[in-house]
Amino acid sequence: MNTKYSSNILTVLVFISLSPQLVADATFLNTDKSAWSANTGWISFRHDQPASPEGVVFGESFLSGYAYSANAGWINFGDGTPSNGHTYANTLSDYGVNHDGAGKLSGFAWSANTGWINFGWAGSSDPNRPRVNLLSGVFSGFAWSANTGWINLGTGQLTTASMACPDTDFDGMADHWERSSFGDLSTANAITDTDADGVLDKNEYAAGTNPNNAASYLKIISQIYSTDYTQLTLEFTTTPSRLYRIEYADDLGLAPVGTWTDSSLGTFTPDAGNTTTKLISFPTDAKKFFRAVAIRPLTP
């Protein structure tokens, strides 16, 4: 390979929420907030009233808050405090709708007038399984209630504008992720590297990788240039819980942040599996440096 062409630069962008979201802070768009049931009619995920509960919060690990139907009343998606700190057990005292971080929903919502509403009835690959498109925030699929039948989330009118990731200790890692990865909020902090792989725990969270596995981190696997050096096939590690961009710079040097340019690919979802391969074209054979950037989905 011609040594003047390099793509050995790999970085991760970290997005940190500076204020924890409350259960009443509905994440759904006021214009796209509705699911539909033939037996109960429209169900609003952002009910218009001045007091709590005012709607449903879509989170990285679980949902919380209340939806409302004029015919079925309030529907509880969970209280936002699962017993283990990261996912509802879906027992009588600890129930709610879970999110696997990659867009798939499971668990149960509850309505005093209609009973349990099942979000986990389908297999992982079932096209009708309840899910969220992490690039657009649009819901699709169906939930099931024995008393009301199918609830259609894919009306084209149900979109979350953001994904809640509360970080109450302000260390760059969502609380649910810390509890799932370490059991508490005190083991890891902004400068720890639990698996000693050279990547800080907060950057493992940003990339969606495993902070307890030294082999799990965001990295470039291979780079193949065309003979005229105007195209690059880049393979890098990915996870379904993150979106990605490929960026390039003409010179690394000591240039300030902002000199990296987004490739023509824009922001994209990863391939199935553990790696993603992309073809990047550039008009000349001038020197270029490339990096893969992981992005937490639906970040305000």
pLDDT tens-digit profile, the chain (300 residues): 333 333 333 333 332 223 333 344 789 998 999 999 999 999 999 987 655 557 999 999 999 999 999 999 999 999 999 999 999 999 999 999 999 999 999 999 999 999 999 999 999 889 999 999 999 999 999 999 999 999 999 999 999 999 999 999 999 999 999 999 999 999 999 999 999 999 999 999 999 999 999 999 999 999 999 998 889 999 999 999 999 999 988 887 765 555 888 999 999 999 999 999 999 998 777 778 899 999 999 987
Q: Can you tell me which residue has the tokens 């553990």?
A: 274
Does residue 36 lie within any of the structural domains? yes
Residues 6+ apart with CB under 8 A from 99: 58, 59, 60, 61, 62, 63, 105, 132
In a domain, 193, yes or no: no
pLDDT of the residue at 188: 98
CA count, 13 A, side-chain hemisphere, 110: 11
Euclidean distance between CA atoms 157 and 33, whole angstroms: 6
Find the domain containing 126 and state its range.
28-160
Q: Is residue 8 part of a domain?
A: no
pLDDT score of 196: 98
Instruction: Choose one of 160, 190, 211: the last residue of a domain.
Output: 160
Domain check: are 155 and 226 in the same one? no
Q: Do 247 and 131 have their domain in common?
A: no
The answer to the question of residue 10 being in a domain is: no
* 6 in any annotated domain: no
Q: Which residues contact 125 (CB under 8 A, 6 or more apart)?
A: none
Tell whether 155 and 229 lie within a shared domain. no
CATH of the domain at 227: 2.60.40
- Overall number of domains in the chain: 2
Last residue of a domain, one of 111, 129, 160: 160
* Residue 257, in any domain of the structure: yes
CA distance 130 to 276: 25
> Within a domain: residue 259?
yes
For residue 257, what pLDDT is reported? 58
Q: Domain for residue 252, yes or no?
A: yes
Same domain, 229 and 136: no
